Amino acid sequence: MEKIHLTPVQEYRLRERAERTSGSVFYLKLFLLAFFLSVPFLFHSFEILDVILKIIVFSALVASYDILIGYTGIASLGHTLYFGIGAYLVGIFMGKFGLSSYGHLALAVLIGVVLSGVLSVFIGFFSLRIRTIFFAMVTLAFLEFVFILSSQLRFLTGGDDGLSFKLPGILAIDYSLGRFLGLEVTGRIISYYLILLVALILFLLMLRFVHSPFGRVLKSIRDNEQRSIALGYKTYLFHIMASSFASCVASVAGGCFAIWVGFVSPESTLGVPIMLDVLLMVIVGGMGTLYGGIFGASFLMVMRAFLPKVQGLVAALLPGVPLAVRLSERWLFYFGLLFILIVYFFPKGLVGTAQEFVHKKRNEEIG
């Protein structure tokens, strides 16, 4: 029996495949999925369900942003623009035109995806051509522009007040399917599982995307652009394609967000603060990991849910110290510090650092 010689890439792929369904990391992923599936049965309070669902939606959004920033190495500062487009299309279809049927909902999400893809190709076309750094500036300017547009075009978007809408059939809040395992299956719960399913599909798509040959080319461009150009890859086209794929995913995530909240406004879907949140989630989770998005989103969402309580505590403990109250009110200040400190001490983020640690151990075992 003669030995088949494999190229290093093939060997790497085989090893990756073997590890995919074994080891502690795989069980961790399964546990996460099981946890998300059982949340409605574990916690009956709506507040917790709301936080967990936002974690799910934002994990998908952050992972799509990670494709840009961690895998492709191009920085966008307007990624939530597509999130907003996805959310607004659902809002406009359901709330403005009152077209509430399942077909229209699917159509709204689809149009959102197409629009986002086209727009990101358009933006990428004239800002990625020269230097990728322009991309960061131009996308930020566009985000600001669309934000103002959405608050001005009252006839379409409802202006600053936004749009509220009711969802069709089994997704509506007042719908009830009856009881199951001691839990009343309302429209909320059904929406939760629908969105979880969509997010899971998006995640698998993105994983497929970054592990595909196309994704490998993206990484090679990120790591050594000159060499990739010399190998004959048109980096510009790869950047645009990666950007439009990420935008489409973000748009679907935006649609899910709108379905859950039942309300869209410029502030809640297109504001720069949301972009900053996503940026922070990517940094906390780590770039170039995809799974980092889950940790980053969990960290920030849980913080946001608990911080008002901390504020009340400080105000109760130190009633006579206005500066302390002021300092506790301004929790964004600490987020800003976090940005700086993470870049200082954990440039790879939480998941990135953990992955590095695992790889080190593994290499020791092999070597």
Partner 1 sequence: MTSAGRPWIPRLIGPALILLPLLFIQPKTYLTLTISGLAMGMLLFLVASGFSLIFGFMDVLNFAHGAFFAWGAYVGYTAMLWINKWSGWATSDSFFLNMIIFLLALMAAGLSVAVLGIIIERLVIRRVYGNHLFQIFITVGTMIVLEELIRITWGPDDEVMSVPQSFIGSWDLFDVVISKYPMIAIVIGLLIYGAMHLILKKTKLGMIVRAGVEKPEMVQAMGHNIYRYFTGVFAAGSALAAIGGGMWATFVKSIHPAMGGEVIIFALVIAIIGGLGSMTGSVVGALIVGLSYNYVAYLIPKGSLGITMILLIVVLLIKPTGLFSEGT
**Which residues bind to partner 1, rule: CB under 8 A?**
69, 73, 75, 77, 126-127, 129-130, 132-134, 136-138, 140-142, 144-145, 148-149, 152, 272, 276, 279, 283, 287, 323, 326-327, 330, 332-333, 335-340, 342-344, 347
Q: Please tell me what DSSP assigns to residue 4.
A: P
Query: What 3-state class would DSSP assign to 180?
Result: strand
Q: CB of 124: closest distance to partner 1 in angstroms?
A: 12
Q: CB of 153: closest distance to partner 1 in angstroms?
A: 8
Q: Judged by CB, which is closer to partner 1: 205, or 276?
A: 276
Q: Judged by CB, which is closer to partner 1: 114, or 337?
A: 337
Q: Judged by CB, which is closer to partner 1: 133, or 183?
A: 133
Q: CB of 320: closest distance to partner 1 in angstroms?
A: 18
Q: Judged by CB, which is closer to partner 1: 149, or 194?
A: 149
Q: Judged by CB, which is closer to partner 1: 99, or 136?
A: 136
Question: For residues 99 and 92, is the Cβ–Cβ distance under 8 A?
Answer: no
Q: Judged by CB, which is closer to partner 1: 164, or 220?
A: 220
Backbone angles phi, psi at 181, to 5 degrees: 55, 40
Query: What 3-state class would DSSP assign to 234?
Result: coil
Q: CB of 342: closest distance to partner 1 in angstroms?
A: 8
Q: Judged by CB, which is closer to partner 1: 111, or 278?
A: 278
Candidates 118, 130, 116, 82; CA nearest to 236 is 130
Question: For residues 255 and 85, is the Cβ–Cβ distance under 8 A?
Answer: no
Distance of CA 292 to the CA centre of its chain: 10
Q: How many CB atoms lie within 10 A of CB 332?
A: 11
Q: Give the strand pairing for 176-180 and 183-186.
A: antiparallel
Round to whole Å and give the CA distance between 286 and 304: 19
Backbone angles phi, psi at 177, to 5 degrees: -95, -10
Q: Judged by CB, which is closer to partner 1: 226, or 363?
A: 226
Q: CB of 100: closest distance to partner 1 in angstroms?
A: 30
Query: What 3-state class would DSSP assign to 32?
Result: helix
Round to whole Å and give the CA distance between 88 and 84: 6
Question: For residues 86 and 112, is the Cβ–Cβ distance under 8 A?
Answer: yes
Angle at 75 between CA 91 and CA 351, to 5 degrees: 90
Q: CB of 10: closest distance to partner 1 in angstroms?
A: 31
Round to whole Å and give the CA distance between 60 and 103: 23
Furthest C-alpha separation in the chain: 84
